[in-house]
Amino acid sequence: MLQNIKSKLENGCHINFPEAIELMALQGSECMELFSLANNVRGKLGDRVDLCSIVNAKCGLCPEDCKFCAQSVHNDAGITPYPLMDEEEILNMALMMQEEGAERFCIVTSGKDTAKEDFERILGAIRRIRKETSLSICISLGILTTESARELKNAGATRIHHNLETSENFFKNICTTHTYAEKIRTIQIAGDAGLDVCCGGIIGLGESARDRVELAFTLRELDVDSIPLNILAPIAGTPLSGAEPLTPMEILKTIAVFRLILPRKNIRVAGGREKNLRDLQCLCLLSGANGLLLGNYLTTPGRTPREDIQMIHDLGLVPGGVHV
């Protein structure tokens, strides 16, 4: 089977849904063959590992009921909420992450949408970052309108981040306060405004392997530019605090299958990799991924950027932007 898929990809053809489901069922030594194939496909994009970073610019008090999220008012994760940072704080975070090796910086706020006053402050921060750093600027503000997407682009943002989280069929099990259609509409609005789109999800929410494949095919259909893959790190006080963790091999299989479904896209491993992959973190970059999120996440700590950059060098890869 793997040889047939390899031939298919070499001939410029896409793998289909049944083939992807079969790949997710592989076990034992065949997994290593899958990882090797995915790594070869990744290698066609070059040896650079795309590095980005985020700032949780506004934390907590989110009215949405996402079951995985520590920032939701429906959950009791014990985080300390805070209002939107001022421009100077956001700029200083951007400068710090540029110094650490990031080439892209994403401003993230909690909530489904953004108040006008906060939105104007974010536009100001974008202009400052554009002027005072060499970073590409990504924005994650929840649901967008055509007007807000255009304003973000005019201010200097180059990319919108907006995760689908999981498959459309499984989404109702993790959130009921907004719809999958709303999320897809935001992705379309961002693309129509000329912005790149960063869109992926979280694995380990209790979804099936089929749900993960469905998500990958939806992303292929939407033709997004970058796919962040988070792995659930259960947080006390959320409904998913007792979720059964995925095994490292299941995580690596998922990364590899995403690479084969999305052979020319940036696939970035983000939150939860430290806890779930443990000593096997480096294998994510040998199983199809070509990007990492550096530093801390929204409400949980990550590794130091220096550790990740050293890992990249140890693998014979190069830290730096990937353009596909």
Q: Which two tokens stand for residue 78?
A: 């014990």
- The SS3 assignment for 48 reads strand
**Conformation bin of residue 12: beta by default, left when phi > 0, alpha when psi is -120 to 50:** left
180 and 192 in contact (C-beta within 8 Å)?
no
Q: What beta strand segments (E) does 63-157 contain? A: 104-109, 136-140
C-alpha span between 124 and 245 (Å, rounded): 41
Q: Which two tokens stand for residue 208?
A: 């099936």
Q: Which of 52, 66, 199, 284 is catalytic?
A: 66
Q: Which of 69, 175, 199, 284 is catalytic?
A: 69
| DSSP H stretches of helix in 1-112 | 2-10, 17-24, 29-43, 87-100
Q: Which of 52, 59, 138, 284 is catalytic?
A: 138
pLDDT at 321: 61
Helix 17-24 to helix 248-261 angle, to the nearest 10 degrees? 160
CATH number given to 32-315:
3.20.20.70
Residue that has been written with the tokens 């060098």 in this structure: 313
The sign of the dihedral angle between the CA atoms of 175, 139, 154, 159 is negative
Q: Which of 52, 59, 106, 175 is catalytic?
A: 106
C-alpha span between 38 and 22 (Å, rounded): 15
Low-confidence ranges of the chain (pLDDT < 50): 323-324
Give me the percent of the chain exceeding a pLDDT of 90: 89
pLDDT at 323: 44
Q: What pTM does this model have?
A: 0.95
198 and 161 in contact (C-beta within 8 Å)?
yes
- The SS3 assignment for 222 reads helix
pLDDT at 252: 98
pLDDT at 177: 95
Q: Which of 59, 62, 175, 199 is catalytic?
A: 62
- The secondary structure element, H or E, covering residue 291 is strand 291-293
C-alpha span between 257 and 213 (Å, rounded): 8
Does the active-site annotation cover 284? no
C-alpha span between 123 and 125 (Å, rounded): 5
Q: Which of 121, 268, 273, 284 is catalytic?
A: 268
- The SS3 assignment for 164 reads coil
- The SS3 assignment for 11 reads coil
Does the active-site annotation cover 66? yes
Does the active-site annotation cover 282? no
296 and 302 in contact (C-beta within 8 Å)?
yes
Angstrom distances, CA of residue 149 to CA of 122, 140, 164, 187, 282: 12, 11, 18, 10, 36
315 and 282 in contact (C-beta within 8 Å)?
yes
Strand partners for 202: 230
Does the active-site annotation cover 138? yes
